[in-house]
């Protein structure tokens, strides 16, 4: 299913280049300290929605005072691909009590270190706050806390707004919510990421124009691509059951025209829900998309999908109470439009159910709309997006009686297929919420159950038809994949997409040593090396806690084609793991908050504006980026 997301990203490159504002770290992790007792400090972190902080990354030091053990509340345990282990994370408001055992009467300096990430794929470098603290319990005139410094900046300097690379960075890395991606200011260079610079610039120009028809065309195309993802597929069994149900009620097949009318009503109900989201984006902006991705919201809608799936498997039948059904039947029988209204309402409800599933790409659309400040344009854009998503639904409706199977054994198989699909979408929605091991176990169970429904363990009789052999083969493949998920989870794996990757980590790291970098530790050293290189230069920002950096090493830099393309360039690397003042100066020089990020220079030492690589890129995609930078084998 991940390749479908890549197809989508290539079609909405403009939103990838101009959407999803990440918060400044000072806003994402608001921090304050106060005295709550004679010898106790309370550290408060107000963590923005969609962001979290690592428990083990908190550190408190005071050179001239003696601190007790900090009382940090228990957090949520999750597997984090950045650190490749289970970690505790905190969300919302976090209160930490820090006892002070001794301190000088003139006060002392308290240094607070922490690190946080965004669910959407940005991991900030470790942060450092320095406070001046005075306590009456140790002879000070009065209790007091004053913030002196944030990282290496004096208070009041400001950091500026953060502008992300959007959906491309959102899904560009294999790591889910914890994967690290660099954010950049709004005035920074255009990014080379999931789409070529030519494609991105063309679509950027369309969106920047603010003209209704071109913007709606872009959103319609994005909707068509989004319809290829599993997010829209759960609507197909719902619509097909409505069409087949009406055919049974009328005692005759539904005509093409009637089927198209039903599909159009269903799609219109879905489109109006998205239009409402577009109008609301003017007020809520990206907060609306973030709300759709809250764990409890995802869990509720995933549960709804599972309930629908169980009805597909025949465990029960979902229907309104008998009295309600009789009244609706009478009302719909009076006018031809009665049934259309019911289908219209069902379309709106279906859109609400799958909205969290499409929240990641929808986030980029909502942020673009909120930035445009045009309510009407926002509504029309989201209506066009929903219209594009409705294309397969309209095709299904227009084919009523032809593409839909007749009642019988085939219909039961179709229901089972869509039931499996509904459960798969529910698991996909919860991918960022569930621990990696639990996710792998559930995927393995789903694949094995699917194989059972395909009768993979039944004997294939002599003379069986071709379709029976085909489905038997599909069942064998699903069973093998399911076993791999279970083996991966049992052996310590946490990535459902690559369940056995952890068993081959050593070989991958050894294979990645084909590209050798020269380390630079300061801006002055970088400028000196670039000025005297006499050839093209590639500067790579790296950190040990950056999962995308490690993926570039293991899967991209190890490719012989990439090594050949880089053979004529001087390869520099800035390791910003320690987050020292020199590291932060290097990041500020290129207006980056952290790795990963790759910057290119020509043979004269001039930076190639408009050519940057942000986030993980496969070897094939990175070769395209190198070609834009003038580096070819």
Contact of 488 with 499, CB cutoff 8 Å: yes
256-284 and 375-389 helices cross at what angle (nearest 10)? 140
581-589 and 523-533 helices cross at what angle (nearest 10)? 50
Q: Which ranges of 50-130 would DSSP assign to H, the alpha helix?
A: none
Asked which of 431-435, 446-450, 498-502, 618-622 is least confident by mean pLDDT, the reply is 431-435
Query: Is residue 471 predicted with pLDDT exceeding 80?
Result: yes
Other residues' Cβ atoms within 10 Å of the Cβ of residue 5: 22
pLDDT in the model for residue 367 = 52
Is the Cα dihedral 182, 185, 189, 191 positive or negative? positive
Q: Which two tokens stand for residue 63?
A: 């050179």
Determine what percent of the chain is predicted with pLDDT higher than 90: 13
Q: pLDDT digit string (tens) for 354-385?
A: 655 555 455 555 555 555 556 677 777 778 88
Q: How confident is the model at residue 334 (pLDDT cuts 50, 70, 90)?
A: very low
Query: Is residue 262 predicted with pLDDT exceeding 90?
Result: no
Roughly how many angstroms between the first and final C-alpha of the chain, as a whole number?
A: 32
CATH topology of domain 25-154: Immunoglobulin-like (2.60.40)
432 or 286, greater pLDDT:
432
pLDDT in the model for residue 208 = 54
Integer Cα distance of 528 and 495 in angstroms: 42
Angle at the Cα of 7 from the Cα atoms of 629 and 218, rounded to 5 degrees: 90
What kind and span of H or E run contains 614?
strand 607-614
Q: What are 150's strand-pairing partners? A: 129, 153
Q: pLDDT digit string (tens) for 582-593?
A: 888 888 888 776
Yes or no: domain 510-628 corresponds to CATH 3.40.30.10: yes
Q: pLDDT digit string (tens) for 149-207?
A: 775 444 433 222 222 333 333 333 333 333 333 333 333 333 333 334 334 444 445 55
Closest CA to 505 of 494, 518, 517: 494
Closest CA to 298 of 503, 15, 23, 50: 50
Phi, psi of 600 (to 5 degrees): -115, 145
Closest CA to 583 of 239, 69, 152: 152
**Average confidence score pLDDT of the chain:** 72
The DSSP letter of residue 239 is H
Integer Cα distance of 144 and 142 in angstroms: 6
pLDDT in the model for residue 193 = 37
């Amino acid at each position: 299913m991940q390749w479908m997301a890549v197809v989508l990203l290539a079609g909405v490159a403009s939103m990838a280049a101009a959407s999803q504002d990440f918060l400044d770290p000072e806003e994402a992790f608001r921090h304050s300290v106060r005295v709550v007792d004679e010898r106790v400090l309370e550290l408060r972190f107000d963590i923005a929605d969609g962001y979290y902080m690592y428990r083990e990354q908190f550190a408190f030091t005071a050179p001239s005072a003696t601190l007790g053990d900090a009382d940090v509340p228990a957090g949520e345990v999750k597997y984090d691909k950045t650190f490749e282990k289970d970690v505790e994370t905190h969300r919302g408001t976090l209160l930490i009590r820090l006892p002070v055992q001794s301190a000088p009467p003139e006060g002392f300096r308290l240094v607070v270190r922490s690190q946080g990430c965004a669910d959407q794929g940005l991991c900030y470098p470790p942060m450092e706050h320095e406070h001046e603290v005075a306590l009456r319990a140790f002879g000070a005139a009065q209790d007091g806390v004053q913030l002196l410094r944030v990282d290496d900046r004096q208070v009041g300097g400001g950091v500026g707004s953060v502008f992300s690379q959007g959906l491309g960075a959102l899904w560009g890395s294999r790591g889910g919510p914890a994967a690290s991606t660099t954010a950049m200011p709004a005035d920074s260079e255009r990014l080379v990421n999931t789409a070529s610079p030519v494609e991105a610039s063309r679509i950027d120009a369309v969106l920047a124009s603010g003209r209704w028809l071109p913007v709606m065309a872009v959103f319609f195309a994005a909707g068509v691509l989004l319809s290829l993802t599993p997010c829209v597929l759960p609507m197909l069994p719902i619509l097909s059951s409505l069409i087949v149900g009406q055919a049974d009620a009328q005692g005759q097949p539904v005509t093409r025209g009637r089927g198209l009318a039903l599909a159009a009503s269903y799609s219109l109900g879905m489109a109006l829900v998205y239009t409402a989201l577009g109008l609301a984006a003017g007020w809520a902006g990206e907060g609306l998309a973030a709300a759709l991705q809250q764990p409890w919201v995802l869990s509720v809608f995933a549960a709804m999908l599972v309930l629908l799936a169980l009805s597909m498997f025949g465990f029960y039948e979902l229907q309104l109470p008998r009295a309600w059904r009789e009244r609706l039947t009478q009302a719909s029988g009076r006018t031809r439009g009665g049934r259309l209204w019911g289908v219209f309402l069902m379309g709106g409800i279906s859109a609400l159910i799958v909205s969290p599933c499409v929240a990641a790409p929808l986030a980029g659309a909502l942020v673009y709309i909120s930035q445009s400040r045009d309510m009407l344009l926002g509504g029309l854009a989201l209506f066009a997006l929903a219209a594009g998503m409705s294309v397969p639904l309209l095709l299904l409706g227009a084919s009523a009686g032809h593409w839909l199977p007749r009642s019988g054994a085939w219909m039961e198989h179709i229901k089972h297929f869509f039931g499996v699909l509904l459960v798969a979408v529910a698991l996909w929605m919860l991918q960022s919420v569930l621990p990696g091991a639990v996710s792998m176990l559930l995927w393995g169970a789903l694949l094995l159950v699917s194989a059972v429904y395909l009768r993979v363990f039944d004997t294939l009789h002599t003379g069986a038809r071709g379709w029976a052999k085909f489905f038997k083969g599909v069942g064998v493949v699903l069973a093998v994949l399911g076993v791999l998920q279970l083996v991966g989870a049992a052996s310590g794996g946490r990535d459902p997409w690559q369940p056995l990757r952890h068993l081959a980590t050593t070989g991958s790291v050894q294979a990645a040593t084909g590209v050798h970098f020269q380390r630079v530790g300061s801006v002055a050293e970088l400028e000196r090396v670039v000025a005297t290189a006499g050839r093209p230069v590639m500067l790579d920002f790296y950190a040990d806690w950056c999962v995308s950096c490690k993926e570039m090493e293991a899967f991209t830099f190890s490719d012989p084609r990439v090594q050949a393309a880089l053979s004529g360039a001087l390869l520099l690397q800035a390791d910003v793991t320690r987050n020292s003042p020199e590291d932060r100066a290097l990041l500020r020089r290129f207006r980056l908050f952290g790795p990963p990020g790759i910057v290119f220079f020509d043979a004269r030492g001039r930076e190639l504006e408009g050519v940057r690589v942000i986030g993980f890129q496969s070897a094939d995609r990175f070769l395209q980026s190198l070609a834009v930078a003038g580096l070819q084998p």
